[in-house]
Amino acid sequence: MSEASAAPGGGDVTPEEQFHTGASIKVATVAALGGFLFGYDSAVINGAVSAIGEVFNVESTTLGFAVASALLGAAAGAMLAGRMADRIGRLRVMQIAAVLFLISALGAGFSVNVGMLIVFRIFGGLGVGIASVIAPAYIAEIAPASLRGRLGSLQQLAIVTGIFISLLVDYLFATAAGGSTEVVWGLPAWRWMFLAMAIPAIVYGGLSLTIPESPRYLIANLRIPEARKVLTTMLGTAGTEVRIERIQSSLQSDHKPSFKDLRAPKGGLLPIVWIGILLSVFQQFVGINVIFYYSNVLWEAVGFSESDSFKITVITAIVNIVTTLIAIATIDRVGRKPLLIIGSIGMTITLGIMAFVFGIARTTTDASGTVTPVLEGWQGPAALVAANVYVIAFGMSWGPVVWVLLGESFPNRIRAAALSVAAMAQWVANWLITVSFPKMKDISLAFSYGFYAACALLSLFFVIKWVRETKGKELEDMDDDLLIAPH
């Protein structure tokens, strides 16, 4: 019997329970579309970066800033999203994100210079940052505890699917035109890569009009009848009044939610907020986005053709999707912490192998003095296999699990604000890794991957000491862990 037809305790589910589960999955899927746009917007630059440099005749520093500019917008969007979500509701914030994605798609696609491109990439970044906060918060607040891990993982599945579709769109347009700077359907291929995002942005905005507001937001704003209706639809009638009372109790405060609530009694931030921040930072400092932002440039640099580099990048994105499905299938059975531990070990080993391969590779130096490693014999396949096994290790663990933990670990009263801070930290870390990689690569790819391997090893010790298991716990029980301690 599949898990969809089995109750958490192992018995058959009733038609009513199947209805409520189906409703939860539908609502979570719509919310996760923000993650799809998040992934698409983040990775679309990969196929266009060479063309942008050529068309606008910009040097590497400006080009690097164009790539990273969306991350600055994402950090700002993440910081704004929590307060917006508490004031105007989760759904309105989703709709704002959809509009920002649409503006970015059209503006970037029709940019006439690199400055204009950067401005509209920042608009897209704002949408990405907002989506990175609102989707995990909303899904955690709407999902039954028994399904929350799987439904929360839909955010990462949507992100990696968005990455895959953006890379596939990049590849198809570049192939159809004969190159990313060549013309197809009246415009250069690289412009279509950005413009294509308008379609999912419109779909996301439209579907967000069909799902209910978060019951916890409704209760916080004294809209109890509406919250009761949503809870009944999502979870059934049994225990609804008790659940409403528990949510009300968890939200009790003498003031409206704000960032001040994140402060610890003795100063600084609450320990649970620091744990969220460090989960976010480690997720980026293991270097995963280097694979997706710079993969084409990276594989071309070590001898693969542009066409083969596109194919390798698309294959890597497919691997990322498949491994995220593994996480979805196991996260509510195995738990969050074991998956993180397995992922940290796998990433440490594979990144170490990549550092070793690039460390022993023969190098060449061009007329400008740029040193490039040349992978010969077994070295090319070894680096390729290690890179994809690394993506497997990340995709089944730190990719989806961090989003699940960020959505569910914080108490109701501080969830939106704490998630904003943690997500902002993630985007700042992402920006640091993105802008530092070209310089680190110039020093040595062995050094770059060695640094990411060291971060993966540190993440292992962090998880073992500080991260608590949240599998099966109700969100209202997270209040008991507000002053979480290591164990």
Per-residue pLDDT of 341-354, as tens digits, reads 999 999 999 999 99
- List the Cα angle 163/168/170 in 5-degree steps: 95
Q: Which residues in 358-367 are b (16+ Cβ under 10 Å) and which e?
A: beebeeeeee
d(CA 7, CA 375): 52
In a domain, 352, yes or no: yes
In a domain, 378, yes or no: yes
Which residues form the domain of 147?
20-211+253-481
Query: For residue 368, what are the contacts with CB-CB under 8 A and spacing of at least 6?
Result: none
Q: What is the pLDDT of residue 3?
A: 37
DSSP designation for 263: B
In a domain, 12, yes or no: no
Number of domains the chain contains: 1
Q: What is the pLDDT of residue 22?
A: 84
The CATH number of residue 25's host domain is 1.20.1250.20
Check: CB of residue 35 under 8 Å from CB of residue 158.
Answer: yes
Residue identified by tokens 């400055």 is 115
Instruction: Tell me the HSE value of 369 on the side-chain side, using a 13 A CA sphere.
Output: 2
97-144 pLDDT, tens per residue? 999 999 999 999 999 999 999 999 999 999 999 999 999 999 999 988
Six token digits for residue 277: 């921040």
Q: Helical H runs in 89-111?
A: 90-109
Low-confidence ranges of the chain (pLDDT < 70): 1-19, 253-258, 292-303, 306, 367-371, 478-487
Q: Point out which residues pair with 12 in neighbouring strands.
A: 6
Residue identified by tokens 């100063």 is 267
Between the alpha carbon of residue 58 and those of residues 49, 54, 113, 258, 336, the distances in Å are 11, 7, 10, 42, 44
d(CA 395, CA 196): 26
Q: What is the pLDDT of residue 486?
A: 43
In a domain, 136, yes or no: yes
In a domain, 51, yes or no: yes
Q: What is the pLDDT of residue 23?
A: 85
d(CA 182, CA 154): 36
Helix (H/G/I), strand (E/B), else coil: 269:
strand
DSSP designation for 212: P
In a domain, 370, yes or no: yes
In a domain, 239, yes or no: no
Residue of 474, 289, 483, 480 lying closest to 391 (CA atoms) = 289
Helix (H/G/I), strand (E/B), else coil: 401:
helix
Helix (H/G/I), strand (E/B), else coil: 267:
coil
d(CA 216, CA 484): 23
Six token digits for residue 145: 């505890």
Check: CB of residue 417 under 8 Å from CB of residue 258.
Answer: yes
Query: For residue 84, what are the contacts with CB-CB under 8 A and spacing of at least 6?
Result: 92, 93, 96, 130
d(CA 453, CA 462): 14
DSSP designation for 469: P
In a domain, 338, yes or no: yes
Check: CB of residue 109 under 8 Å from CB of residue 57.
Answer: no
